[in-house]
Amino acid sequence: MKISLKITHLKQKISSLSDYNQSSRVHSLRSFGSNCFVKRDDELGFGISGSKLRKYVSLIPHLKQKKIQEAVVIGSSYSNNVLGLSQLLIEQSIKPTLFLLGDGTSEKIGNYLLTSLFVPESSIHWVPREEWPQVESLAEKYAKPRGAFVIPEGALMPEAFPGAITLPLDILRNEENLGLSFSHIFTEAGSGLTAIATILTLAYLEKQTCVHVFLLADDKDIFISKLQNFKRHFERLTSQDLEWEEVGKRFQLHIPITAKSFGSVNKTIMQQVAEIARAEGFLTDPIYSAKLFLEARRIIKEQGLNGNNLIVHSGGGLTLMGFQDQLVGF
């Protein structure tokens, strides 16, 4: 099957999506070299962080179809996903109930401050760290008698997967509009869903592009397990089997060399936030996107990558509200 027919087929399979914005622009990066570009998924939304919106493109219609009146959202108090999803649930008259990591003493700064504007304390359940491995079971126990719908951390779920596929499809649109092809795509992985969707879509289309995934939460084994799981979902969606060997050719996994643990930030990362702002004219957040740009620059140089390189900016600028003290002085 020709790539154009495959693209049409895939679009038909995910056609029942919401009308949320699914298109973002691509432009060159001045400080990275002539063959480096950025995809501005950070421009997809303000209060809703960039490409997180893509997951909701299919998740929200699913909740509406099921006539869900209450949704349980799992995550940290400073989560981009918790903040963004809470907004859209309220918009659709679905009550957000939050199961958050912690004991209720989190400082009201950054994303948590904004989330507290949408969700009252009475709708927040705090789960201590020692009980966090059982958080989904606790959420299900709460949700079942109420008929509520549980959304796992990072919205890592089949219902959000078709929305994540809009990212690689939109990159193909960018390529056509710009008259070029990207040899390498750089993205970070929290839950990993959009990275997984990009890898699988490129394998399905037999496109010779390498996806460089920077693991900011999981280790490599966990990411591979998730990829294999969603490969089965993708195969059911497209009614076509994907050879694992072909999937494996489409990605490389990387671990950051600084601030490796999830949520950790240091002076190097904050310096990167300032440098990107001054050189490129956009904001990055220190948890995800600043690390991505820092590491992408390193990989491009170390591997001597040829062809066009695309860095996916997934947003998260509002997170900077929680790091004002660290930014002073740059």
Both 134 and 281 in one domain: the answer is no
Long-range pairs for 10-17: beta carbons < 8 A, 24 or more residues apart: 10/165, 10/169, 10/201, 10/204, 10/238, 11/169, 13/162, 13/237, 13/238, 14/58, 14/162, 14/163, 14/165, 14/166, 14/237, 16/58, 16/61, 17/57, 17/58, 17/61, 17/162, 17/163, 17/166
Per-residue burial over 154-181, b = 16 or more CB atoms within 10 Å of its CB, e = otherwise: bbbbbbbbbbbbbbbbbbbbbbeeeeee
Domain count, the chain: 2
Residue 321 is predicted with a pLDDT of 87
Both 65 and 187 in one domain: the answer is no
Residue 167, C-beta contacts closer than 8 angstroms, at least 6 positions apart: 41, 51, 54, 194, 197, 198, 312
Model confidence pLDDT, tens digit, residues 72-84: 999 999 999 999 9
Which of 157, 188, 214 is the C-terminal boundary of a domain? 157
Distance CA 246, CA 248 (A): 5
Q: Tokens for 73?
A: 């959202």
Distance CA 106, CA 312 (A): 30
Distance CA 39, CA 310 (A): 7
Residue 258 is predicted with a pLDDT of 83
E strands present in 248-305: 251-254
CA triple 228-231-236, angle to 5 deg: 140
Both 7 and 121 in one domain: the answer is no
Both 294 and 146 in one domain: the answer is no
**Single pTM value for the model:** 0.94
Both 232 and 273 in one domain: the answer is yes
Which of 99, 130, 157 is the C-terminal boundary of a domain? 157
Which of 125, 157, 189 is the C-terminal boundary of a domain? 157
Both 43 and 75 in one domain: the answer is no
Distance CA 241, CA 290 (A): 36
In order, the DSSP letters of 43-99 are: GG-TTTTTTHHHHHHHHHHHHHHTT--EEEEEEETT-HHHHHHHHHHHHTT-EEEEE
- Quote the domain boundaries for residue 294: 3-51+160-327
Q: If 0-12 CB within 10 Å is exposed, 13-18 middle and 19+ buried, where does residue 57 land?
A: buried
Q: Specify the DSSP class assigned to residue 206.
A: T
Residue 129, C-beta contacts closer than 8 angstroms, at least 6 positions apart: 101, 102
Both 133 and 184 in one domain: the answer is no
Both 204 and 307 in one domain: the answer is yes
Residue 327 is predicted with a pLDDT of 84
CATH number of the domain to which 150 belongs: 3.40.50.1100
Strands 36-40 and 26-28 come out as: antiparallel
Both 27 and 65 in one domain: the answer is no
Both 19 and 66 in one domain: the answer is no
Both 254 and 286 in one domain: the answer is yes
Both 78 and 196 in one domain: the answer is no
Residue 1 is predicted with a pLDDT of 63
Tens of pLDDT along the chain (330 residues)? 678 888 888 888 887 677 888 999 999 999 998 899 999 999 998 888 778 899 999 999 999 999 999 999 999 999 999 999 999 999 999 999 999 999 999 889 989 999 999 999 999 999 999 999 999 999 999 999 999 999 999 999 999 999 999 999 999 999 999 999 999 999 999 899 999 999 999 999 999 999 999 999 889 999 999 999 999 999 999 999 999 999 999 999 999 888 777 778 889 999 999 999 999 999 999 989 999 999 999 999 999 998 999 999 999 888 888 888 888 877
